Structure 1
Amino acid sequence: MIGTLRGTLALRDPDEVIVETAGVGYRVAVSPDTSAALGELGREVMLHIHHHIREDAQTLYGFDTPDKRRVFEGLISAHGVGPAMGMAILSIYGPSELAGILATDDIDALCLVPGVGKKTAARLLVELKSRLDIGDVTTAVASGYPAGEQPTDARSVVRQALAELGYSAEEIRSAIAALPPGDDSSALLKAALRHLASGI
């Protein structure tokens, strides 16, 4: 089983990269934020790998931090969550955001993930609390925000701000998925608004 992969970033798309090592190019499925975090083509990169094996295929899923890989593996161990949905969730929410969602039972946040409706989100909240160990989820509600309204990090702040501005769930999903790495909520909100204004 492959646990990490180090080599030259030879090709990059939003959802896949090719890392070349010892003359072999490895195709690795990644989330948009991991893809962006790898930097320029031609540089040496290192990915934490989940090697997913099925009867008909083998797929490498890559993450820029071990925490993301650990959360991904927790996600796909939940009933009805395959690698595609696990990557979709991590494309919108990082480990700290998921901690806040679990702490506040924020069903609406999970519903922003493509393919997740209210019933699925409710089931996932229950299952993920027992399967994911992503820090002290109780700290997310410690500052007095009502349940489901605590902005746990910059992306959650942006999501909440866009919802208050009247954007639809689909628009918010698209804007959050397109955000660059960063923890400045003001800068990320501006980037989200530019993305929405561009109509991409």
Structure 2
Amino acid sequence: MIGSLRGEVLDRNLDTTVLIEVAGVGYIVSVTERTLAELEPGTETFLYIHHHVTETAETLFGFRAKDERITFQTLIKTNGVGPSIAMAVLATHPPTALVDIVANNDVAALTLVSGIGKKTAERMMVELRDRLSLPMLDSGDATSPGSAVAEVREALAGLGYGTDEIRDVLRDLPSDAPSATLLRDALKSLGAKRA
């Protein structure tokens, strides 16, 4: 099994895969959109790898940080969550934000992920509560990303915005920004859409 790759990024593709050459061998690795943007062709990189084997295929999933790989592996052990949903979760919520979302039972934050509805999010919340390692939040920062998203969602609802509007606007914003920045950007975007 492949656990990591260190090599040159040869190419990156619209399907969020990258081609990494290691000692003359090219490996196609699936990554999140955030990671894809960081991997410039011609540069050296190191990725933690989850080597996913099924009856019909072998797929490599790459992560810049170890906690991303651990979170991915936890997600795919969850009932009804395959690798593509797990990658979508990580593309929307970094691991520390996801831990915070689960700790706060923030079902609405999980529904921001493409392909996850309310029932799936509720089921995932129950399973992830026992599986996610809560000590991953070592920073002790009270303004953690998951809390910021929850605060902004509540503020927008209090201002009279609908659930669909809120979900759409928050999906387009970075989940790791402070709540004040998120709220300002969300209001600007919502104002432009209503104009």
| TM-score, normalising length: structure 2 | 0.78
Which whole-Å CA distance do the structure 1 matches of 2:138 and 2:41 have between them? 40
Aligned residue number for residue 133 of structure 2: 133
Whole-angstrom distance in 2 between the partners of 1:5 and 1:69: 13
State whether residues 72 and 87 of structure 2, in contact with CA within 8 Å, keep that contact through their aligned partners in structure 1: yes
Q: Deviation of residue 126 (structure 1)?
A: 0.7
Match of 1:102 in 2: 102
How far is 1:22 from its partner? Answer: 1.9
User: Contact (CA 8 Å) 1:88, 1:114: kept in 2 or not?
Assistant: yes
Asked if 1:157 is matched to 2:158, the reply is no
Q: Structure 1: how far apart are the matches of 2:42 and 2:138?
A: 42
Contact 1:71 / 1:134 at 8 angstroms: preserved in 2?
A: no
Alpha-carbon distance in structure 2 between the residues aligned to 1:195 and 1:87: 26
| 1:82 aligns to 2:82 (yes or no) | yes
Task: Give, in angstroms, the shift of residue 131 of structure 1.
Answer: 1.3
1:23 maps to which residue?
24
Deviation, 1:139, is 8.8
Residue 122 to residue 184, structure 1, CA distance change in 2 (3 Å): closer
- The corresponding residue for 2:51 is 51
Q: What whole-Å deviation, never above 9, does each CA across 1:174-195 have from its counterpart, x for those lacking one?
A: x14xx4x976667777888899
Count of residue pairs the alignment pairs up: 184
Alpha-carbon spacing, 1:43–1:131, altered in 2? closer, same or farther (3 Å): same
Q: 2:170 maps to what in 1?
A: 172
Report the Cα distance in structure 1 between the residues aligned to 2:9 and 2:106, rounded to whole angstroms. 37
* Secondary structure of the structure 1 residue equivalent to 2:135: coil
Please state how far the C-alpha of 1:32 moved relative to its aligned partner.
1.3
Distance (whole Å) between structure 2 residues aligned to residue 193 and residue 25 of structure 1 = 45
Q: CA offset at residue 170 of structure 1?
A: 2.9
**Displacement of 1:80:** 0.6
Deviations 1:101-145 (A, max 9, x none): 1111001001111121111111111100111114266998x96xx
- Within 2, Cα distance between the matches of 1:169 and 1:45? 34
Separation in 1 of the partners of 2:59 and 2:118? Answer: 30
Output the aligned Cα RMSD. Answer: 3.3
SS at match of 2:114: coil
Q: Is residue 52–residue 59 contact of structure 1 (8 Å, CA) maintained in 2?
A: yes
1:93: Cα distance to partner? Answer: 0.5
Indicate how the Cα distance of structure 1 residues 121 and 22 shifts in structure 2: closer, same or farther if over 3 A, else same.
same
**Unpaired runs of at least 5, structure 2:** none
The Cα shift of 1:10 comes to: 0.9
CA deviations 1:61-117 (Å, max 9, x no partner) are: 000000000000000001111001100100000111011111110010011111211
Deviations 1:138-172 (A, max 9, x none): 998x96xxxxxxx522x763675477284441342
Q: Which residues in structure 2 correspond to 1:107-118 (within 5 Å)?
A: 107-118=107-118
Structure 2 CA distance, aligned partners of 1:32 and 1:104? 26
Q: Distance in 1 between matches of 2:80 and 2:33?
A: 23
